Structures are given as structure tokens and as C-alpha cells.
Structure 1
Amino acid sequence: MKNLGFLLFFLLGFYTASSQSDLGKTKPKLVVGVVVDQMRYDYLTRFYNKYCNDGFKRLIMQGYNCENVHFNYVPTYTAVGHASIYTGTTPDIHGIISNNWYDKDLKKSIYCVDDNRYKTVGAKSGGEKSPYRMQTTTITDALHLAQNMNGKVIGISIKDRAAILPAGHTANAAYWFQGKKTGSFISSSFYMDKLPKWVEKFNISGIAEKYLNQQWKTLYPIDTYTESIADDNEFERTYKDEKRPVFPHDL
């Protein structure tokens, strides 16, 4: 992760006009942690006028906005960022020092969440994963333990490491997207032996394929994005067989 982006915890399931003191008396039914890869903090202010009232603006105005934070480690790869955010510590403590690294004891390169002790659930391959290389607990583990394991902790992401590491060691489930010919969400036997029905239903719904068969267009007319540099610039590469790296993109 070249830029660690930001973490916003927001509460769903309850919203009232009561004071902050009243909110503190009510336990939320759902807590959602969201990490936006490579979204720098200044994007919140630079593109503020293009955000809707129920999206980032709501989080900024009605939540807590941390304006003076930093991360004291390098490099800022995605696995390192996810582990650091959810453990609250640094790579030398939580053990996730990169997405991939060389293990001098095993004498080979390893991937941060690979674990051949477990099997793929929901596909033929791609799910031999677990969080065992992360050497500390996470805030999600703490929340789970605080509820005497009665609550549920689930991680969902396109990338396996982004679903597994934030969910912690005690998670009920973690799901990630297995692309290419599979095109569905899968998991690991570390969490379960079979995908739940709601995941199976999503996988056969065709939603992912429908999404990929459409063009990626800008929300607003391209000429209104005055906060950004030109769409066609030397800092971007083409996607697949594109002739120019410009919107709309054919996914």
C-alpha cells in the first residue's frame, strides 16, 4: 500500500439525534471497519464537494476525524497496513513485515497469509490461508473476547490478506474474491468446512460478472474533475488492451 489511506470506524444499525453522552449508553449492534487502499487523507478535503451527504460527508461531520496521525514504519504494503491498523502496533511486533518476504528459517519466500495446513472452501484452490503469521491480537479479537465470543467477526475483501488480517485470529469467517475462471468468494477451512448459503447464493447470482461486463465511468462529467490532473497523463498505464489510459475503462 503506497499510501496507507485511512481507517474509519462507523456504527450502523442506530442513528438518532441524541447527544454524544446518550450514544455512549447504547451498544451498537454492528461495527464496521473500512480501509480504502491508497486513499490519502487529503482526498477527503480535495474531493469534498463531490461526496454525497450520506457517504464520506456524514462520516466526517458526524464521526471522529483524526487529522494528526502517522505511521512509523516502511514499507507500507497492504498486508502491513491492515495488520498495523487492526493490531495497533508496528511490523516488528505483529510480524507482518510485507505481503511477501524471505523466511530465513524456511529458506524460501513466503506469502503473509499462506497456510498449507488448511484447505480451500468454495473452490479448487486459493483458500489455503490463515492469520497465523500475525503474532499479536487485533481489535476485532478484543471485541470478540469482550462479548465472550458471542458476537460475530467477519472479514470480507477482494484480497485474501485484506479479509484475513483485519478479522483477526478469532474470526468467525473471512471471505475473499477468487477471480479468473472462478469468479466467486471463497474461504479457508481455518474458518469453516462449507460456505454459508448466503455466500453461495451471491456466487451464483452473476452479480460479479454483470459488474465486470460494464464500463467504469466517472460519476460526474469528466471535465468537472478540476481537482485532478488531466485524465490522459504520463503517470498512468493502460488497462488490458486499452490504447489510452482514459475513462471510460472497459473492465
Structure 2
Amino acid sequence: MTRKLPAPQHLLSALVLASCMGGANAATADSKPAAAKPAASAAAQPKLILVLVVDGLPQEQVQRYRDQFGQGGLRRLLDQGAWFSNAHQAHGITVTAIGHAAVLSGAYPYQHGVIGNNWIDPVSHEQVYCTEDSAHRYIGEETKAHDGTSPAKLRVDTLGDQLRYASGNRAKVVAVSGKDRGAILLGGKSGTAYMYMDKTGNFASSSYYMQSHPEWVQRYQAGKPQDRYYGKTWRPLLADAAYAGDASEDLVQAKPGVATRFPFSYYSDNGQLDADYYNRLKGSPFLDELTLDFARAAVAGENLGNNPAGVPDLLGVSLSAHDYVNHAFGPESKMSHDHLQRLDRMLASFFGYLEQRVGMDNVVVVLTADHGFPNTPEFAQGQHIDAQRVDGDKMVAALNAQLEAKFKAGKLVTSWSLPNLHLDYAAVEKAGLKRDEVENAAARFLLDTKGIAQVYTRSQLEANGAGETRMGTLMRRAWHRQISGDLMVVTKPYWYFGKGGSGTSHGSPYAYDTNVPLIIMGKQWIKPGAYSQYAEVVDIAPTLAHLLRVRPPAAAEGRVLTETLR
């Protein structure tokens, strides 16, 4: 699928515009011809590629809170890196698994095959998880039926796989995350993934990668760093005045036994270091501290960035807590604001560690996100925006009733994992009906449902007939012919599929979900500056492949961000 997507209108803050004045397009006042500089291809290869994915970080939060960042973390990336303000996860279903699969494959879902965090298997009609693989188990940990243990469902290769291939498997590729899908989909087919275990607080791998953990992992687990947060409290990092523009904490509906405002304490109800406590850590800054702490152990244990074979290594770190915080409270909340400030300081500390171990001049750093986030409906309504939640189960039940009344063919929507709905084509044909007739009737009904903006049918998508709108292009990219549904349903802006009366979620083709940070920093290879050019997350893999002098992944459709290269 060729990339023909018009750059969307994007409002830049005065801060961004000001930063552009000193950015990559600034003209030099010196009219004397400059001495020729070596081409980027002649520069030494990076010793380490560090790919950071902040789960659920919208671009607008980076812009909104920039003045409060410290000197060594996000501000360092913004000041010393190439920052694209108009960068997008350019597919229509913006969720964690799809976004992570895009980062280092450079591919859209219609090729890479990860069409959601979960989806319906079209043969068994059972729900499957994006990284589950019953052939493998976590090492030393309980493994449930749908736990993420391998990249088997990722249908393409990644940058890490190409780096391993080009180096004769001497390059090391390691991925770490608070979520199994965050690590596994960054690690690719031939890297090694480690993920947080919410029953024990350990980071563990699976039997897909090895039969037992290396000694450095065993030492790390023996130290029980996850236990140091028991009884700890998360309080705001900054002075009260810093949060003056955040949403009122009263917008978050209180639930029995669940805190909805600062401070937050981490413990278990029975006073023990158990699964209750380790699971609670996931919605706190402490999960990201642990993830980066384990990443340090991986750098030291695997000697990343100092490969004795003289080849580059790749470290992927997916930081999961921001997503949990935004789901619970919204990106407009004081909690989300504070978490990002804390994450900024954590990154500064991690960069300081890499300076000592590898030297940051030898490192290329990429920071992006798997998706953005809309505001909570309650907050959006306060801004006079039409925003609500759509109960998907009720919507499908009403659709089935309508189709049964019209066609007298029984239950025609057999299963769903929204925004995908699956039709019973065997029943359609048995009743002597035409597929497109049933699809169109379903689409017309859904379009009259409150909160629904658009419906795409299988016949439409197979004929490449979703239209040339931005939404149509993004939804086509998100649809995989073999495993996606027969109907794809898009909510109106600021509406989303969900139940209950608090929190928010993502997954749409709208800018608040697609517009994510894309920052690349590397002193020897990258020209710093604020770039207003349209860019996509799928551009990361081809750009890094160029710097590493390896083949891009086979299904990559992104471009090399040549405007950033020295």
C-alpha cells in the first residue's frame, strides 16, 4: 500500500515555532563556503541504538509540559535531537500492540498482521492475544493460556532481525517492557524480550528465547528490587502552582477502595509482598523505574554498546505506566502531568548511566509512542465537545436484532473485538442472500447509531473502496484481509468504545490518538531541530537501517528521514 497521505493540519504552539527558528532549517550568517564534511555514510556506526517507546504518550503532552522538564531527559532529546511535531502512528486502530509492531518493522497492520491487542480468530471464532503462543512458557513464572510468550503472530521481520542477520548474529538485540507485548514486538523474531510479571514483580523471558535465564538476570531477580516500593507513596513532584492548568480531580469518578487523587500508596490488602501489591505497581511511576533499572542490568549483563565483535547493539525499552495512568485519569489530569515529569527525570538518570557505560556520543536514541490519548469524556464535555462512551455489546445486540428482523436468517454477527465485527457468511449464503447486501444493511444501521461516524465493509475494503480520505487510508492500513473483521466501525471524535463512567481509552484514527512524539538524537549522525514535516512512526526503521547500513525490514513502507541526517 503506497504512502499517499496528505499532511494533516497541525497547530503548533508558539514554543514550537520559536524553537524552529534555531532548528534544522535555520540559515547560517556566515557566507564563507564551509569545508566539506564527511557524509553520514562515512561516519562510524553507532555502538548502540536505544529505542524508547512511552506507552500512551500524546505529542501534545510533550509540548504542553516542555517548560517543566529537567535538563537531562526529555528536554535533552528536544534540544539535541530532531523532533517531529507532526509525526503519526499512521494506521486507524491505535492500540499498544499495533503501535509497537510498527516501530521497528516499518510496516502497517495489513502486512505485519498484528491487528489489535486481541482479535477474533476467523476459523475458531475464539479470541486470541497478540503475543500468545501455547508452545512456550515464561521462565520460572506462572503462564496462563493467553499470556504473551513469543512473536509468532508478528508476520514480518524487524530492524533488530536485520541487524542480527547482517552481523552474523553477533549483534545483541534486547527489549524490556512493563507489558509482554511491548517487549516481544520490539524484540522481533531474533531478539530477546523481558517483561514484567505482575504476580511476582520479576522481569522474565520465555522459552521461545531460551530455556533458562542468564546469570545476570538471576542475580537481578535475587535482589528483589520490586520490593523496595512496598509502603511507598506517590506524591506530586512539583509545587502546586505547576499543576494549576490540569483538570479537576473531581472529574474522576470515585470507586470503592480505589484512590482518585494524590497521594497514592502501594501495598497489598493483607500486608504481604504478593500479587496484589505487584499488580498495583503497574499504575505507578515505580513500574517505569523498575523497567529502566532492569534495562541498566541488561546493558551491563549483555555489555550492550561495547560488543566485543565491534558491531552495534539494539536496546528497546517500552515504558508502560503512562498508559495505565492515562486510562485511569486522562491525559489532562494532574496524575498524568506528574507522571510525565517523573519519567523525564528517570530518562535523565538513564542517559547518565549510558554516558558512563557507552558514551552518549556513540548512541542513537529514538523516542516515540505506540499511540496517543483522548481526554476523558467528562473533561471534553466541559470544553463543550460532544463526547461519550459507546457500549459495544449493546450496539452489536441491537445490530443482530435488526438484521434478524430484516433477513430472517438468525444471528448474523457471530463475534466481535471492536472495532472489528465478524459476519456469518455461511448463514448469509444459506439464506440466499448476497454478502454485500447484508454488509450494507449492517453499515446503514450502525451509521444511525449514536456515536458512530463511519463503517467500512469487507467488500469495500477488498475492492480498495474505502475512499481517499485520511480516515479511509488509515483504516485500510489497519485491516488485514485474512484475520480482520467483515465490518470496521469508527466512532465519532472523542467518543470511544467502553463502559462505565470514568477513565478514557484510545484506538481511533483521530489526531489525538495518532499524533505521537518522534525524536531522534545522535550527535554524529542527526541534525538537531524542530521539524514541521509530516512523518510517521514507520519511518523509524528505514532511517535506523540507513544509519546501521543494513537492509530495511522487508515490509517497511516508511521513508528515510533524510532531512535529519548530517
CA deviation digits over 1:200-251, x for unaligned, max 9?
2222222112124311122112332234223x131x3558824x51112113
Contact 1:83/1:96 (<8 A) preserved: yes
Residues 237 and 150 of structure 1: is their aligned pair in 2 closer, same or farther, counting only changes over 3 Å? farther
- Determine whether 1:175 maps to 2:191: no
User: Match for residue 159 of structure 2?
Assistant: 139
Calculate the aligned-residue CA RMSD, in Å. Answer: 2.3
- Determine whether 1:160 maps to 2:180: yes
Within 2, Cα distance between the matches of 1:55 and 1:95? Answer: 34
CA deviation digits over 1:97-143, x for unaligned, max 9?
00111001233111111111112212132566110111111122222
User: Match for residue 33 of structure 1?
Assistant: 51
User: Match for residue 131 of structure 2?
Assistant: 113
- Determine whether 1:53 maps to 2:71: yes
Residues 106 and 212 of structure 1: is their aligned pair in 2 closer, same or farther, counting only changes over 3 Å? farther
Alignment-mate amino acid for residue 99 of structure 2: G
Choose which of 140, 150, 153 in structure 2 pairs with 1:122: 140
User: Match for residue 318 of structure 2?
Assistant: none
User: Match for residue 238 of structure 2?
Assistant: 220
Within 1, Cα distance between the matches of 2:230 and 2:95? Answer: 26
Within 2, Cα distance between the matches of 1:63 and 1:86? Answer: 19
Q: Normalising to structure 1: TM-score of the pair?
A: 0.83
User: Match for residue 100 of structure 1?
Assistant: 118
Residues 59 and 89 of structure 1: is their aligned pair in 2 closer, same or farther, counting only changes over 3 Å? same
Within 2, Cα distance between the matches of 1:220 and 1:237? Answer: 24
Within 1, Cα distance between the matches of 2:254 and 2:98? Answer: 28
Residues 145 and 239 of structure 1: is their aligned pair in 2 closer, same or farther, counting only changes over 3 Å? farther
Aligned residues: 228
1:147 Cα offset (Å): 2.1
Within 2, Cα distance between the matches of 1:161 and 1:240? Answer: 30
Structure 1 alignment gaps of length 5 or more: 1-19
Residues 212 and 51 of structure 1: is their aligned pair in 2 closer, same or farther, counting only changes over 3 Å? farther
- Determine whether 1:233 maps to 2:231: no
Alignment-mate amino acid for residue 39 of structure 1: L
Contact 2:130/2:148 (<8 A) preserved: no
More helix by share: 2
Contact 1:215/1:248 (<8 A) preserved: yes
Within 2, Cα distance between the matches of 1:90 and 1:38? Answer: 18
Alignment-mate amino acid for residue 102 of structure 1: I
Within 2, Cα distance between the matches of 1:145 and 1:196? Answer: 22
Residues 146 and 214 of structure 1: is their aligned pair in 2 closer, same or farther, counting only changes over 3 Å? same
Contact 2:197/2:204 (<8 A) preserved: yes
Give the secondary-structure state (helix, strand or coil) at the position aligned to 1:121: coil
User: Match for residue 261 of structure 2?
Assistant: 246
Give the secondary-structure state (helix, strand or coil) at the position aligned to 1:183: coil
Give the secondary-structure state (helix, strand or coil) at the position aligned to 1:65: strand
Within 1, Cα distance between the matches of 2:218 and 2:175? Answer: 16
Within 2, Cα distance between the matches of 1:212 and 1:66? Answer: 39
CA deviation digits over 1:3-29, x for unaligned, max 9?
xxxxxxxxxxxxxxxxx9588612222
